[in-house]
Structure 1
């Protein structure tokens, strides 16, 4: 896979991401804090109402020890209330039928030390959750127990609003992040598209210039090579023939460079057809056998995973020959260059692996650029041509490398319709 490049993380994008995370954390913390404080606020509201009602009820009870005046106390927040003695017998109840009955079979007078009241949430037989408030009241020198049971719906409105606010906030954050993600993806895509367009324009200009130079150089170069070959044949002195041979050798190298320039700048149209990938690889291996033997490099072809792919057989051979020749040249004595394949969806992944010196991580992002090379005699066009060929066949090429341990080139090629 391509090496990681810090330039992929543009500082504006990273800044917006950080700002978005901080903003989301602040909003989330604010909403969560509101939700956590909503219940205490509701409890405080109910407690304040209960204390007010208790004070009113105690004052009315002392005005009329028969407790008849207590029936005047009403509020939409009151479910019911009662007054009982120390034994738990109700001496007053908003439901007259319950006067004289015990509060409950297991009722015991609570210890009012400390706050002077006891409060809790209970569930009535109707299923409603209510707020129960117990506090002592003193009537005509006698201590009685006031039991106030309040509806919680209005007081809990703050809790419900907080829950709703938290839900809405979460939904807004989710939508915001979703939209932000889409904008980020489209912005990245647009940026890549602009870069690709600029690169294509640059490569087109480079290709035009290369083609012009190649055509202008080819004819004079052929003449130089021809005269040098003629001199090599007619010269008598061995030293003179050696110099003529050097001219021919360098002319041939320049011819190869010109051919590479033309292959890159004005490639022939690819003839896409179903081809036997295994056959192509074996033919390339046959061409490399002598070179590999000279360097004591072993060529290995994995027998599994092969199938037919869509491509141009001639250009495929050219590409594989270039890649595998590079691998053989980079592999030390006793090393191995292997080729394997496996099916992945609608593609065959062709893996070329060597045990050579590897590629500098700093060079990985640039190795497919035209004219980029670390070789003193290299043109820097070989891998650029390989990339162009594989892309013309609707394929992909990726590279990973560990310095000192070798490199791996992975070609993704479309499977032919009649492939297994």
Structure 2
């Protein structure tokens, strides 16, 4: 290799390579020195530095050793020396690249520095400075995307959890309705057997009490005598009515399903009970929206609403208020009876539909059980919400036609 030589004719240099030829002589190749140097610049380390620095987020790229800057991107005139910078000294003593935040031309920079090996010189560094503002923007964008993704995941999770909880509530409610119906059926069969055993002697007691009242007149304390026989006959009739309710409960009549307008039915029940409510000093109103017809036994649903309304009347003091409502709810219709009465104690709230359960003096414990049975026969549900001193709301849900 001859290397760079001065031109014999004209200015400039050329680069020459000569090789011995077997047959004698030599093969000589030469190239223009300026063209060769330009080629080296385009494909060498300098082009690599330039390529890196062309990235808009990169503020500088520098290769330097202890003596100073060897290669640098455009615009770099001065950089700190490894001997004067403890960070660069640590980089030279460790193989893994390291990074730091620093200042360059009044701008915050993330500098990445790594040792590089160029021939025999081991004290050489590659330093690349990245704009911290660009990194912060990228970080904010990444955080925003992560936040949106997290929000979507949470929203999906909440919706899924809500749907699962709703299904669990519906399943639990159906199980409670089934267990309650099984309990009511069992109690009803028991009541049927007991009622037949009671009714015959009860009728005999009632007849005897009536005959004693009509056919005998004591010589002393006649008024008390007639009062006692009258009470005996009246209580016998009351017990007979309870027995009749037991039998109706144990052997419910089959439904006579017909198209029924529940808004009209609610208004009818409110009109029937206006007199009783007025006598008790209670305001009874009905508020119904137009709803679809349901296939139902109108007489039995009327009886169920009357039982609920009378239950509310018994719970209200003078000046109280009862509201009957009927509203559409998707493919179902909601009937509600709401009062501002005494409310139900929490320990009794789950027992309201149990057969024979009552907290009212003189109550039979049959009214709400019969209501639950009627609603269950109509493929509906009934729920109660109450708190002591805050009133009670019974809500019936029935499928629309």
User: How high is the TM-score relative to the length of structure 2?
Assistant: 0.61
2:227 match: secondary structure: helix
The aligned residue for residue 316 of structure 1 is 301
- In structure 2, the partner of 1:14 is none
1:361-387 superposed Cα distances (whole Å, 9 cap, x missing partner): 221111111121112321212111111
Q: 1:407 aligns with which of 392, 395, 401?
A: 392
- CA distance, structure 1, for counterparts of residue 87 and residue 385 of structure 2: 73
Partner of 1:109: 79
Q: CA deviation at 1:264?
A: 2.1
Q: Deviations over 1:246-266 (max 9, x none)?
A: 112111211121122122222
**1:98-137 alignment to 2 at 5 Å?**
102=72, 104-106=74-76, 108-111=78-81, 113-117=85-89, 118=91, 119-120=98-99, 133-134=113-114
1:183 CA displacement:
11
The gaps in structure 1 that reach 5 residues or longer are 1-78, 91-101, 122-130, 150-169
- Is 1:134–1:147's contact at 8 Å kept on the other side of the alignment? yes
Structure-2 residue corresponding to 1:224:
205
Q: 1:83 to 1:270 in 2, by over 3 A?
A: same
Of Structure 1 and Structure 2, which has the larger fraction of its residues in strand? 2
After the TM superposition, which residues 11-410 of structure 1 pair with which residues of structure 2 at under 5 Å, given as runs? 86-90=67-71, 102=72, 104-106=74-76, 108-111=78-81, 113-117=85-89, 118=91, 119-120=98-99, 133-134=113-114, 145-147=124-126, 200-236=181-217, 237-410=222-395
Q: Which has the higher contact order (CA 8 A, sep 6+)?
A: 1
User: In terms of Rg, which structure is larger?
Assistant: 2
Tell me the alpha carbon deviations over residues 312-356 of structure 1, each in whole angstroms, 9 at most, x when there is no partner: 111111111111111112211122222122111112211211121
What is the TM-score normalised by the length of structure 1? Answer: 0.59
Q: Note the alpha carbon deviations across 1:103-158, whole angstroms, 9 max, x for none.
A: 5542643355224445449xxxxxxxxx9534599999x99643389xxxxxxxxx
Three-state SS of the structure 2 residue aligned to 1:269 is coil
Kindly report structure 1 stretches of 4+ aligned residues shifted beyond 6 Å: 136-140, 179-197
